[in-house]
Structure 1
Amino acid sequence: MTSNTAPPRQPIAIPRTVWVLGVVSLLMDISSEMIQTLLPLYLVAGLGASAIAIGFIEGLSVAIATVTKLFSGMISDWTGRRKPLAVLGYGLGALSKPIFPLATSIGWIVVAKAVDRVGKGIRGTPRDALIADVTPPEIRGASFGLRKSLDTVGGFVGPLAAIGLMLATDGDMIVIFWIAAIPAFLAVALLIIGVKEPEQPPSSSKGMPRFRDARRLNRAVWIVIGVSSLLTLARFSEAFLLLKSQQAGLSLAWIPVTMVVMHAVYGLTAYPVGYLSDRIGRRSMIALSLVFLIAADLALATAQTLPMLFAGIVLWGLHMGFSQGILSTLIADSAPQNLKGTAFGVFNLATGLTVILGNVAAGLLWETWGSASTFLAGAVVALASLAAVPLLSAARQPAQ
């Protein structure tokens, strides 16, 4: 006697390509965080930079990355190829790492950051578009969350390595910068060997990719871009978290522990949040992320002790875990299949421009009225972003 009961639905496995791209991100992030965790301190103590200069350098780095993200996204749609651009981007990131220990002035640091950010800009958009290409919509949130989680494992392994090496080398940052190059080159090798992209038809557009191709993006994509830009304005560079840690009383060798804690929280939450968003929706996750950001800003604005500092750092990590993978997933949900690279490129351009404004403003506020003003301003903008979250209800549309 046969049963009419349908067999239980088998869970869909996350594609191997997503796992490999996650590990590649992990290795590159270990390298980058080993340098980035110490760089603000090196700029201030070793090269005499101000908070305004740090804000400018961070903002310029983001500007370079965002412009290249737009071009790489458009080119990846035009050619139908994602992997070559990703390899080029990760390769430039690896090649930038030896410049940091060789730098003798702020100008050379700017050059190193520029090369690194060009690489980041080139690789980020085709990598995200490749994840969207290989992942079924039913597990898209989990896939982007997994990639973010693996990336952020590097985000706390890197600072942990920096702490251990600071203690082992008696604070020799130059040696640490040299060691940081090793995982970057391993990331490039793994990407070349381990990723095989699916066949994608090249764009039907004639000639080279054009900026006006962005006008073909649908309303849903533009809503995500607009809300994401406002949210990004509220969250400035983690360089200011490191400077705040020094103010709160952490010794130089132990300041990287703030990034260990932040990235540990971020990494542990990104995948579960992405998985959950596949089942209950994305909008509530973004709203919660902003609540965490407001609480983080208020804690950091008033932090005079280490417990209050680390409360703010944990809340900041929760904000990152609840927002970053979800925003990428919303773009993947909303963009037409033949314009996913362009959509990610425009998304990264728009959010990157707002990061520039946020970083420069954060530096000016810090120098003029102190660190509390920087975090209080962030809380105000985050509150405004929270009011815009309902607009995302129109963002999830089937790709055309």
Structure 2
Amino acid sequence: MYISLTNHPGDPEGTPTGPKAANRVSSVVISLGIVSMLTDISSESVAAILPLYVTGVIGLSTVAYGFLDGLYQGVSAMVRIGGGWAADLGGQPKWVAFFGYGLSAVARVGLLFATSFGALTAVLTVDRLGKGIRTAPRDALVANASTPQNLAASFGMHRALDNTGAAIGPLLAFIILLVIPNGFSTVFVMSLAFALVGVAVLGIIIPNRRTNSPVQPGTTRAPDSAGRPAEIRRIRHRTPWRELNNPGLRRLLLVAGLLGVLTIGDGFIYLVLQDRSSFAAQFFPLLYVGTNVAFLVFAVPVGRFADRFGRARTLVLGHVLLLAAYVSATLPITGPAITILCLVLLGGYYAATDGILAVLATQFTTSATRATAIASAQTVVAVARFISTAGFGILWFAIGREWSMLLVTIAIALVLPIVAAILRSARQYRADV
């Protein structure tokens, strides 16, 4: 059962059709964006206060927090491909995503009682496993509700709504702490409420757009002269995994890994900005808000730009913006202007890469393995960024902030031309979807 928000001519389920399809985003995509917005309000409100809660309330060390943060960033990689594969295998992307969202909502309950390192580790693991399970099926739903002409625009709209929640969550958390000192439990209750509403919206409103035929694998229906199914005969079943053995997809995964290893975690960039400009520590969370607001502003126009001028070019351009952000953070210039510039560049980078990578992954496979292809790219990025976060922390400790930033900036400048060449060579392997 679902509630259809809008019906477009020619498609009762709300997928844009006709001459204006390239400029119209499906109501299903918008509904999925609302689900992500509610969930991000829930998760980002917790993420914004977690450092204070872990070190100030529970009294754990910064080493313990570093472990928890790494867990928060990387554990979802363990199940991303599994979530995508399950969605493709059963043709039920909505319910696989529903399970992932529900798992994260259950973890919010655990936050109300977690007061030790072990309990927090368990709760955060469950939360991130839920994220890993839901992400690829949700992105497959976005792709299934879109047309080839407006695919990047649809992902841009979804990411814009998603990052609206990412900006609102930290603001709500710090307003609560401003009004209620030590009101961490209140933040956790609010987080749980938003998570439950998001799960409810997904279950009630979003249609389950199947990614494959309801006919059992290995069979096909042959219609009679009147067009009615007359028989079911066996055919040789093509293993869907073969569709993932696409040279273009392999090149894309290589690109995702190379760029992911050279992407510094946002927290390190913010620490560089805070240390250089010496602004008050209580304003630190607003840096997250600034990046998410910039992402929100750029997401939709950048998605439309990518549909028109090329998704691979947009991905490379996004990393040029990331390079510029690194340069702005490295330069010995202080003041609010350079800090704001860095946040705007980071937001532009996310707008040009986050959804675009998923769009590129869909171009090298068919709908039968779409979620698995998306999950493969996301897994490579998650693992690469986990490695980069740990590696940059060690590098910072060994040679200092300035030299670490300089080395990474030079490395990504050298890799970008190679990445552009690899993506150009992958174009010939695009699948007909």
Matched, 1:327 2:340: no
Matched, 1:175 2:186: yes
Q: Is the 8 A contact 1:17 1:196 kept in 2?
A: yes
Q: Is the 8 A contact 2:361 2:374 kept in 1?
A: yes
| 1:68 equivalent among 72, 79, 86 | 79
Give the number of the structure whose alpha-carbon radius of gyration is greater: 2
Alignment of 1:264-283 (within 5 A): 264-283=293-312
Residue in 2 that maps onto 1:287: 316
Question: Residues 301-321 of structure 1: CA distance to partner in whole angstroms, max 9, x if unpaired?
Answer: 346544433332221111111
Alignment of 1:193-212 (within 5 A): 193-199=204-210, 200-201=212-213, 204=217
Segment drifting more, 197-206 vs 39-48: 197-206
Matched, 1:237 2:270: no
Residue in 2 that maps onto 1:224: 252
Matched, 1:310 2:321: no
CA distance in 1, matches of 2:244, 2:360: 17
Q: Per the alignment, do residues 224 and 213 of structure 1 end up closer, same or farther by CA in structure 2, a change over 3 Å counting? A: same
Question: Residues 145-197 of structure 1: CA distance to partner in whole angstroms, max 9, x if unpaired?
Answer: 11111101111111221232232123543432332222111100100011012
CA RMSD of aligned residues (A): 2.6
| Count of paired positions | 388
Matched, 1:213 2:224: no
Residue in 2 that maps onto 1:18: 29
Q: Is the 8 A contact 2:253 2:377 kept in 1?
A: yes
TM score, norm. by length of structure 1: 0.88
Unaligned runs of 5+ in 1: 1-7
CA distance in 2, matches of 1:40, 1:205: 52
TM score, norm. by length of structure 2: 0.82
Aligned-residue offset at 1:341: 1.7
Residue in 2 that maps onto 1:353: 383
Question: Residues 101-147 of structure 1: CA distance to partner in whole angstroms, max 9, x if unpaired?
Answer: 43323333222221111000010011111222221101101111111
Q: Which amino acid aligns with 1:90?
A: Y
Residue in 2 that maps onto 1:251: 280
Higher relative contact order (CA 8 A, sep 6+): 1
Q: Is the 8 A contact 1:143 1:274 kept in 2?
A: yes
Q: Is the 8 A contact 2:244 2:365 kept in 1?
A: no
Q: Which amino acid aligns with 2:117?
A: I
Segment drifting more, 229-238 vs 26-35: 229-238
| 1:187 equivalent among 170, 176, 198 | 198
Aligned-residue offset at 1:370: 3.8
Question: Residues 254-292 of structure 1: CA distance to partner in whole angstroms, max 9, x if unpaired?
Answer: 222111110010111111111111111112212221121
Identity of aligned residues (%): 28
Q: Is the 8 A contact 2:294 2:343 kept in 1?
A: no
Matched, 1:393 2:424: yes
Any idea what SS the aligned residue of 1:180 has?
helix
